[in-house]
Structure 1
């Protein structure tokens, strides 16, 4: 027995331009059971794991690497592993055992040859944990105690929950192989507590099933997220569900689960599972009593199995033969078992891994052929097969089959009328029963000692787990103490932050109050300006009526109503589109010119390049300046004056509105006013200044107003420049 696992060291140099090596076809030697191959794919220079690498096995198995670069896949000895990824050349490797594979790949540079290689995992390259786990897997089927000891040693070297999970998973695998299903369940559960993996969940569900915890098995199967499974895993899940339903005699549910699995297997060409599921559908229909449907599925599974390896083909032949026996179709049963015997002989000459517990033993098949002939009352044909079964069972120390075949031979001699031979055979049978009884006693004693050793090993591992949990508790306690020490510091910092937040909220509140006050002030100022404007307009209407000019008064009143409607619509807004303000100003200037035609003419010029709708302006901002120009400048001019309103763009985000008049000017107008008029004018212009000031405070200097003399003549006139900035 080997003391340490051999690590494979295979270097595969794949050069650009070469054809991909053809897949190796399975031959007669590829008859071993499936096992799990674990692997890791990393970059050769940085050792970084490569996720989402495609892993395939000829025959339908598929997997992919996770974020840690790791993968698992079911395979047999001799299967070819194909590793594909967009960033490196495809790698092929023939599986030799349940080895742990490490794949190191170099970047796919066009100017360099592409290199992919397998590297061995040695103690110098990795920590002790991985070699110990590999050793446990090597001895898993050879020496349970030694394998468990390696797991115990690996757990003492484990440094992460990931490693703990892997160790307990392998420990569960050991117990599964040695049929200690309750211990397998416990260790799979611990593995899942450390790290949740779909593969381990499927193993736990199977362990529950074998331990006859059927409801727990169903719960685990149904709790698995099907969308996260590989195609192989999804097929295995449906197969496992079908097995549990079949054992609980829920035949319809069993058939439904098998059919779901078969659909996935067919879609993704998972050949082995297609064969298995057809066979299990046959078993389910047979258990339900629908033998005709069962026969159809068994025929399919038998045909599919014949296209696989010899061992799988003979296994299916025996299953179908058992079905023919149950349906009393002895002729077909005998034919299938004879064909199976020939194949079993070939397998035995090529390999030596068939033990007495396997159904693929010649003594069992000869016994069943003899029993089938006896059921047909063909005693002469039955006797040679039963004798051959007894002889082969004796050579292989298979007391169970030797006993059953001897008993059946005694019955056949009796039914054939050969009573002396029947008596001799019966005496042999009694001796075999005594031998078997003694052997069973020894096996029970050995099993008790084995179970005792297993429990002792498990208790040691459980103590390691308890020690680990205790260490974690101490670590958590020290963390809690550190947390309490930090809590005071964090509390002080939190208090400071709360003070800062409180100050910020207070500042925000004050700012909001100031904004509310500004809005209230603006509303108040607008409410003061509107009566002044309406009062002046009504005076004009009154003058027309007083002069008995009703038609002119009516026309003026109509235009005035339009103006008043526009003013009232905009009275609640801080800003309105410049386009609206221009229409309002044009209407207002038209009304004033209508009244003072003999005093002034006016022009309104807007630069064609200005996009008027892009700018906004406070409502009724320009009207007071136009009103002042007319009422206090142009009205007192001896000659006919001129009022110009022009809008020009000086910058991309700025325009200037210029209002000029060549009236008597501000100084002369002031001299003509009475003391009461001077106070009113001062109050009106003051309101405008306040509005501009509040708006600039709220909207960051959006409006600027400049008032100056227009010209250096006797009638100096007035020039008002309003600057508007775009948002």
Structure 2
């Protein structure tokens, strides 16, 4: 989809004069920038931006990014769409990356616009989901569902996999490990990704599926293009999986391998994590000296970063001292943790207390409770009482019923050990009240959790429907593979039979089509041949009748009339011969010929009839076409068989009227003797032979209507009720 063989990176630097470029590892800055095409300024989303110290982000739908880094860190840009490039950070400058030759292929402008818009919206919804990931699970899932709906059925596996991976991360953050695993696995079905496999491995570990974690993570050791931070995470996750499986030697090997990479690339947070986990592994093996050494390393390193991290490491080492019954060392470290908590900004403390109050959470009430326990373990009951009381007060103010319950019960036990039974009873009653409150809260939490789980399931079902087609297709494919393995030979025979039947049906359909087409073409050819034959029959018939008229003039010795008649007749014959090869001619030309023909006949039988030709002036006669010589036989019949035998002078009327925009009516009416009387006057020979002209006309109309879908319609009737006169009505459709 993308051509990017050559990439030029331009780093646009904004300077503020008066400031020197001095920095060290502790000077943290926020680096902003963008990644886009050089020639067309198309934003490139999904580019992984990381530092060699472990910071990580991706470009959003507008190709923009923000990342925390230190002066001197290496900024790394990675994506399947561009070449990997590194840039050393020297100041808090903006970094704009312009990619030369970056184009997006589209089949047309409309597709380009639609696809670009859908991709941009897809990434925007994922960005929104990440924003709400830690604060609003429902809204975050809704954004993921919207990002998937943007893709429709485009079949873009990469973008669909991105949505599923983001959804898995959301579930992972909220400890919904089963749902996280399901979405990570679905994402991997659409696109193989080292990042997704790492996340899936972590989810397996958190869900206590350690063997599955090993199976998904171990192959990643052979991947060569992983960034250092991902490589460290891989070794750390493998170490966690082996440690949880009690394979401590293997866990230590992976932790130490990850530590080497982290130290080489100066990834400070991971250096602290791995020192601490190596210490945990040594402690499990009862190698206390090594464990304490690595604990001290993690503590010393944490002092160079955020104060919150120092408190975490203090508490971890204090727990280690507690297990080793080194209570004084434990108490000293926990007091340092209390002092550190007091020095933290109030907003940070509030955020810590707002988080889930699990047994591993670090709060002042819990630390006070642990200090009191250390004193009780040494039988220093008087020293323990103030810390228990402070723990109870702080837990009550923070609404931490778990610590309040434990501290109240412990205080009651301390009073009982000292022999102060009245205070012990009073404190125990307070403990019972706290337990009752805790039970009520637990019931409320269970109810909320059930409702919350139902909402999550509902939203997950909504997302599942978006890939229903893919799942159905995958199920059908799996079923087909299973059946193929069980009945391979039978399936082959069935396929051959099916293919043969399909081939036979196709061959039969093709034969039928060819036969139908040939039959239709043959019918058309026959019709054309018949029309041509009928036209050639009509022309001699017309000439024969006309020559009879000339012969009549010669017989009368009327030379001038014969010459005039022959002159008009030659004009008429020339036009008739020119039109003889045409199926249709303009109606205007046909009417001109008819007028000339009627004029010739009138010159012969001027004593027998007069005529009139009326054409509605509103009619666009040029827009209509008519078969040549179609009207002439009807006029000829009217003159020769109707008007000629009338005792008094008759009248021939020809009218052209428009019925509607698509239909004309041509009427030929004579007040002659009528069809019945004309038939009675015929000789026996005339009765045996029908008029050649009329027979040809009927055949022509039949063929033309068959070819041109009822273009011409003719109706013949008596003009008067006494069966005298004849009326011919011809209706003609426009093309």
* TM-score normalized with structure 1 length: 0.54
Deviation track 1:469-513 (CA, whole Å, cap 9, x = no partner) reads 569999xxxxxxxxx9xx99xxxxxxxxxxxxxxxxxxxxxxxxx
39, 43, 48: which one aligns with 1:45: 39
Deviation track 1:683-722 (CA, whole Å, cap 9, x = no partner) reads xxxxxxxxxxxxxxxxxxxxxxxxxxxxxxxxxxxxxxxx
2:146 alignment counterpart: 153
Contact 1:262 1:278 in 2 (8 A): yes
Listed as ranges, the matches of 1:22-171 within 5 Å are 22-23=22-23, 26=26, 41-47=35-41, 55-57=49-51, 59-61=53-55, 82=75, 103-105=96-98, 127-158=120-151, 159=154, 160-171=156-167
Shift of 1:61: 4.4
1:14 alignment counterpart: 13
2:342 alignment counterpart: 345
Deviation track 1:329-356 (CA, whole Å, cap 9, x = no partner) reads 0001001000111111222425231033
198, 204, 207: which one aligns with 1:202: 198
Q: Using the alignment, how far apart are the partners of 2:241 and 2:372 within structure 1?
A: 33
**Cα distance change on mapping 1:283 and 1:49 into 2, 3 Å:** same
Contact 2:392 2:407 in 1 (8 A): yes
Contact 1:88 1:105 in 2 (8 A): no
Shift of 1:72: 10
Q: Using the alignment, how far apart are the partners of 1:148 and 1:17 within structure 2?
A: 42
1:386 alignment counterpart: 388
More deviation in 11-20 or 444-453?
11-20
421, 424, 444: which one aligns with 1:422: 424
Deviation track 1:316-374 (CA, whole Å, cap 9, x = no partner) reads 00000000001000001001000111111222425231033462210010100111111
Contact 2:51 2:73 in 1 (8 A): yes
Q: 1:189 and 2:182 equivalent?
A: no
Q: 1:296 and 2:293 equivalent?
A: yes
**Cα distance change on mapping 1:86 and 1:20 into 2, 3 Å:** farther
Q: Using the alignment, how far apart are the partners of 2:150 and 2:413 within structure 1?
A: 61
Aligned residue for 2:224, secondary structure, equals helix
Aligned residue for 2:229, secondary structure, equals helix
Deviation track 1:250-303 (CA, whole Å, cap 9, x = no partner) reads 222211211111122222222211111111111111112222221111111111
Contact 1:242 1:254 in 2 (8 A): yes
1:445 alignment counterpart: 447
Q: Using the alignment, how far apart are the partners of 2:133 and 2:182 within structure 1?
A: 18
Shift of 1:206: 0.4
**Cα distance change on mapping 1:423 and 1:337 into 2, 3 Å:** same
Aligned residue for 2:120, secondary structure, equals coil
Q: Using the alignment, how far apart are the partners of 1:72 and 1:226 within structure 2?
A: 27
Shift of 1:180: 0.7
Q: Using the alignment, how far apart are the partners of 1:283 and 1:380 within structure 2?
A: 33
Q: 1:275 and 2:272 equivalent?
A: yes
**Cα distance change on mapping 1:188 and 1:21 into 2, 3 Å:** farther
Contact 1:63 1:71 in 2 (8 A): no
Q: Using the alignment, how far apart are the partners of 2:383 and 2:199 within structure 1?
A: 46
324, 328, 332: which one aligns with 1:327: 324
Contact 2:29 2:70 in 1 (8 A): no
Q: Using the alignment, how far apart are the partners of 1:362 and 1:86 within structure 2?
A: 46
Aligned residue for 1:228, secondary structure, equals coil
Shift of 1:430: 1.2
Contact 1:245 1:254 in 2 (8 A): yes
Shift of 1:104: 4.7
Contact 2:25 2:71 in 1 (8 A): no
2:218 alignment counterpart: 222
Shift of 1:446: 0.7
Contact 2:27 2:70 in 1 (8 A): no
Q: Using the alignment, how far apart are the partners of 2:406 and 2:14 within structure 1?
A: 62
Q: Using the alignment, how far apart are the partners of 2:184 and 2:248 within structure 1?
A: 28
318, 333, 337: which one aligns with 1:336: 333
* TM-score normalized with structure 2 length: 0.54
**Cα distance change on mapping 1:155 and 1:216 into 2, 3 Å:** same
1:245 alignment counterpart: 242
Contact 1:282 1:297 in 2 (8 A): yes
Contact 1:275 1:305 in 2 (8 A): yes
Q: Using the alignment, how far apart are the partners of 1:161 and 1:102 within structure 2?
A: 30
**Cα distance change on mapping 1:54 and 1:221 into 2, 3 Å:** closer
More deviation in 42-51 or 461-470?
42-51
Q: Using the alignment, how far apart are the partners of 2:87 and 2:268 within structure 1?
A: 27
**Cα distance change on mapping 1:396 and 1:92 into 2, 3 Å:** farther
Residue segments in structure 1 that go unaligned for 5+ positions in a row: 1-10, 31-36, 96-100, 109-122, 475-483, 489-727
**Cα distance change on mapping 1:349 and 1:16 into 2, 3 Å:** closer
Q: Using the alignment, how far apart are the partners of 1:437 and 1:142 within structure 2?
A: 26
Q: Using the alignment, how far apart are the partners of 1:255 and 1:216 within structure 2?
A: 20
Aligned residue for 2:344, secondary structure, equals helix
Contact 2:34 2:65 in 1 (8 A): no
How many residue pairs match? The answer is: 445
Deviation track 1:653-686 (CA, whole Å, cap 9, x = no partner) reads xxxxxxxxxxxxxxxxxxxxxxxxxxxxxxxxxx
1:307 alignment counterpart: 304
Aligned residue for 2:35, secondary structure, equals strand
Aligned residue for 1:276, secondary structure, equals helix
Listed as ranges, the matches of 1:418-497 within 5 Å are 418-468=420-470
Contact 2:23 2:71 in 1 (8 A): no
RMSD of the alignment, in Å?
Answer: 4.5
Shift of 1:71: 11
Aligned residue for 2:426, secondary structure, equals helix
Shift of 1:44: 3.8
Contact 2:412 2:428 in 1 (8 A): yes
208, 212, 226: which one aligns with 1:212: 208
